Amino acid sequence: MERLILDTGALVAIERGHLAADHVLPDGADLAMSAVTASELLVGVEHADPTRQPTRATMVEGMLARIQVIAFDLAVARHHAVLAAAAARQGLPRGAHDLQIAASARATGRTLITTDTRAFAELPGVAWRSIGQA
């Protein structure tokens, strides 16, 4: 069974219908998201246009109910420290949230599914797969 962690871009692309979940995610995959991704999705609900907010909230709550959320705990923090230091040594700027999501994937031995082809490249020990641009 493939163990996957979905980043925010991937989940938003699926939510908006830009990518079909059944074409992107293998049947029977063990799916998760980081707590950072959950937070980003919830912020999106708060920023949504009032006419779209109820629909968006329902969609996000459905994702949160069906997909395991990986906490940013001490084990993940240790992986984050390694990745942040590696990114600094490489001179490749990385977003703080991207590094936290990558650390969640690395700490749990999951492949990161993303729409971002640059954020996770060359991070040591982070397996990732791009599913296209949203």
Instruction: State pLDDT tens for residues 61-98.
Output: 999 999 999 999 999 999 999 999 999 999 988 999 99
pLDDT at site 14: 83
Tens-place pLDDT, residues 6-37? 999 999 888 887 877 777 787 888 999 999 99
Q: Output the pTM of the full model.
A: 0.90
Distance in angstroms (rounded) separating the CA atoms of residues 108 and 32: 10
Confidence of residue 42 (pLDDT cuts 50, 70, 90): very high
Q: Is 87 helix (H, G, I), strand (E, B) or coil?
A: helix
Tell me how far the alpha carbon of residue 33 is from its chain's centroid: 5
pLDDT at 134 over 70: no
Q: Give the pLDDT confidence score for residue 13 in this predicted structure.
A: 87
Q: Which two tokens stand for residue 51?
A: 């006419």
Tell me what pLDDT residue 27 has: 82
All structural domains of the chain: 3-130 (3.40.50.1010)
| Edge-to-edge strands, sheet with 3-6 | 68-70, 30-34, 3-6, 111-114, 128-130
Taking 60 as the threshold, does the pLDDT of residue 133 lie above it? no
